[in-house]
Amino acid sequence: MQVDAVTIRQPLAQITGTARRTRAAGFSGLLFTETGRTTYLNAAIAPQAAPGLQLSMGVAVVSPREAVRHSGRGVGTARASNGNIRRGLGTQVRTHVVRRYGVEVRTPGPRLRECGQSASSPMLRSSCQS
């Protein structure tokens, strides 16, 4: 059986310690949620401290972010973790998008599809190599 631990909001400097302790405690993975900062930063730092730990992003909010930029972060994070990442994509409710980002709300389906397709773009994959 594989069991993941779920993180709470914490300073970025503590992510490596959390990843090490999670691995040492016998958990197979670590789940990050978007609480105050993007999940990509946490997921890019954790594998440096605990290689092999399966990482998950509960929901990385796509709308109203650009799909290509969002996908580029996903590809970069996958490289940092040697592919040990599961990415959850989602949207926010209409009121939150309007109040937080000040943009009009569009149907989320096409944006989510674009985000998934752009992650498999050869041009994007080559630009994310580092």
Q: Which residues contact 21 (CB under 8 A, 6 or more apart)?
A: none
What 3-state class would DSSP assign to 14? helix
Instruction: Specify the pLDDT at position 92.
Output: 66
Instruction: Specify the pLDDT at position 15.
Output: 92
- The token duo for 55 is 């990482």
What is the chain's mean pLDDT, rounded? 76
Instruction: Specify the pLDDT at position 129.
Output: 43
**Would you say residue 67 has pLDDT above 70?**
no
Domains of the chain: 4-127 (3.20.20.30)
Question: Residue 3: what are its φ and ψ, rounded to 5°?
Answer: -130, 130
Cα separation, 110 vs 80, in Å, equals 28
Q: H/E/C letters for each residue in 41-104?
A: HHHHHHHHHCCCCEEEEEEEECCCCCHHHHHHHHHHHHHHCCCCEEEEEECCCHHHHHHHHCCC
108 or 19, higher pLDDT = 19
Instruction: Specify the pLDDT at position 68.
Output: 64
Model confidence band, residue 88 (pLDDT cutoffs 50, 70, 90): low
Q: What percentage of the chain exceeds 70 in pLDDT?
A: 67
